[in-house]
């Protein structure tokens, strides 16, 4: 399929949807039905949704319409059609995490973010495709087939939250939730030309998230523009007693803060993110974005993050070690897939995991188990944790000089389906600009910054210190306005 044959469709902003509902120009039920009709038409081409939650969505839409008829003030996401990545729990709905080992599992509770979205009036249309257990950079690792990029369906949407990014780009949802462990919100947002947010670790509750790497996993929103992404973060952020890692810090009004000008903010540009391996067109596009920040009154200055070169091996030791522990629970005993080809308990464990997990998940479990094993723990896992500390301290030093740091989100634009599947190392290097912030626990926003000569989106990554999402939104909004 040629790139001109695109499935991209720009949705109305959340403010526009809310205004239409308030004025009675549209009903939430009709809006949801319209989205389901588009999903029926487009999803077979893109493979974005794994399951639909139509009954629950329509009941929510009817509640919103009842509020509108009474003239009551509408909550901030009233009637907004959304989708969520299939690693998040919705009571009674399938939760596969893109894996056959969870086939048939229907959780008995809702994730905290689901509860908060619905309390704010959002209409949750269904569960979105992803790399298996969020392990991947292309969304080709899903047991239920790859997601295709709406900009060019012969290319990947990025991963692991490829379904979440593609759903927004194709207007199969007005907003979505994904998860980011090493770049899984930011990189697909860049590839699909939408906005993606990785909040500070602990800013959004992880209760009800199927864990990949617990010290790295974060839930973040996708939207078509910066203000909508900020509005979604407003709703899902905040302390949760169900999550011991949840931050008690008060939540700012990110949407209002995103309206503030960026003039006077100090923006750092690290040389380490503009070297070998960066696609020339991507680099040139990011440079134009940096010039736009200068024109808007930002003070742009160089910063140095020399330990960046160690980020990928550090990440793939820590993340795989935590994955090997988290995924030990999937054994075919209590729920999910159980192999029928087992005569003994030991065989059942072995066959269920071998048949239920895909190749990439098994690779990471083996890597993590090896790194944690006796005789290798100090040499690999402990050393990786020490380097992680150095990376975090390096960012803190940089943020003593600047308010934010801007970089390319990915060294390359969206690549062809199948292009990197035979080379795991090449796939891992697609995360080279995103894993550093993941290891440091800071926040980041990816915003469309332009496109290559072939029309492929390029995203700029805006990183800010812990709990300074507002700063990242202000800078991202400035880039957005300059690029539109």
The residues annotated as belonging to the active site are: 85, 160, 184
DSSP one-letter code for 117: H
Whether residue 446 contacts residue 417, with contact meaning beta carbons closer than 8 Å, is answered with no
Whether residue 85 contacts residue 27, with contact meaning beta carbons closer than 8 Å, is answered with no
Whether residue 81 contacts residue 43, with contact meaning beta carbons closer than 8 Å, is answered with no
> Which residues, other chains included, contact 449 with Cβ-Cβ below 8 Å and sequence gap of 6+?
285, 286, 288, 289, 458, 459, 460, 479, 483
The helix/strand count (H/E) of the chain reads as: 16, 11
Q: Which of 35, 50, 271 is nearest to 147 (CA)?
A: 50
Whether residue 83 contacts residue 172, with contact meaning beta carbons closer than 8 Å, is answered with yes
For residue 330, report the phi and psi dihedrals to the nearest 5 degrees. Answer: -90, 90
Q: Which of 466, 442, 315, 464 is nearest to 388 (CA)?
A: 315
Separation of alpha carbons 484 and 468, rounded Å:
25
Complete DSSP assignment for 31-93: HHHHHHHHHHHHHHHH--EEEE-HHHHHHHHHHHHHHHHHTPPPPTTTT-EEEEETTB--TTS
Instruction: Work out the end-to-end distance of the chain between its first and last CA atoms, rounded to an integer number of angstroms.
Output: 26
256's enclosing H/E stretch is helix 254-258
293's enclosing H/E stretch is helix 280-295
Q: What angle do CA 328, 329, 331 make, to 5 degrees?
A: 90
């Amino acid at each position: 399929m040629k790139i001109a044959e695109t499935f991209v469709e720009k949705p109305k902003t959340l403010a526009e949807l809310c205004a239409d509902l308030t004025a009675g120009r549209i009903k939430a039920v009709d809006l949801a039905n319209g989205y389901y009709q588009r999903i029926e038409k487009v999803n077979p081409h893109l493979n974005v949704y794994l399951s639909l939650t139509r009954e629950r969505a329509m009941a929510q839409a009817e509640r919103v319409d009842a509020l509108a008829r009474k003239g009551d003030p509408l909550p901030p996401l009233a009637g907004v059609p959304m989708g969520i990545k299939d690693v998040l729990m919705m009571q009674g709905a399938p939760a596969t995490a893109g894996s056959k080992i969870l086939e048939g599992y229907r959780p008995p509770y809702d994730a905290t973010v689901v509860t908060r979205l619905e309390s704010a009036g959002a209409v949750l249309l269904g569960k979105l495709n992803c790399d298996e257990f969020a392990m991947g950079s292309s969304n080709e690792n899903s047991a239920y087939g790859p997601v295709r990029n709406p900009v060019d369906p012969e290319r990947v949407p990025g991963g692991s939250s490829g379904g979440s990014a593609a759903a927004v780009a194709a207007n199969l949802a007005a907003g979505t939730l994904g998860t980011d462990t090493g770049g899984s919100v930011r990189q697909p947002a860049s590839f699909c030309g939408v906005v993606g947010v990785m909040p500070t670790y602990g800013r959004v509750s992880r209760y009800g998230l199927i864990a990949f790497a617990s010290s790295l996993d974060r839930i973040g929103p996708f939207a078509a523009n910066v203000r909508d992404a900020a509005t979604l973060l407003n709703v899902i952020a905040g302390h949760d007693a169900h999550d011991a890692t949840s931050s008690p810090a008060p939540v700012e009004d990110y949407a209002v803060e995103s309206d503030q000008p960026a003039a006077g903010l100090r923006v750092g540009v690290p040389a380490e993110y503009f070297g070998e391996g960066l696609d020339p067109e991507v680099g040139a596009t990011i440079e134009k974005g940096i010039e736009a920040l200068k024109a808007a009154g930002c003070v742009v200055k160089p910063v140095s993050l020399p330990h960046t070169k160690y980020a990928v091996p550090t990440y793939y030791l820590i993340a795989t070690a935590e994955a090997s522990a988290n995924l030990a629970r999937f054994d075919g005993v209590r729920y999910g897939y159980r192999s029928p080809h087992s005569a003994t308990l030991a065989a059942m464990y072995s066959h269920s995991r071998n048949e239920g997990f895909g190749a990439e998940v098994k690779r990471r479990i083996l890597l993590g188990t090896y790194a944690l094993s006796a005789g290798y723990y100090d040499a690999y896992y402990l050393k990786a944790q020490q380097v992680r500390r150095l990376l975090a301290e390096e960012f803190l030093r940089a943020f003593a000089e600047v308010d934010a740091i801007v970089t390319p989100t990915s060294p390359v634009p969206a690549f062809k389906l199948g292009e990197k599947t035979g080379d795991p190392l090449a796939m891992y290097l697609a995360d080279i600009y995103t894993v550093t912030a993941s290891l440091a626990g800071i926040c980041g926003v990816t915003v469309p910054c332009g496109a290559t000569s072939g029309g492929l989106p390029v995203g700029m990554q805006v990183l800010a210190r812990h709990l300074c999402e507002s700063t990242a939104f202000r800078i991202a909004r400035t880039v957005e306005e300059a690029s539109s």
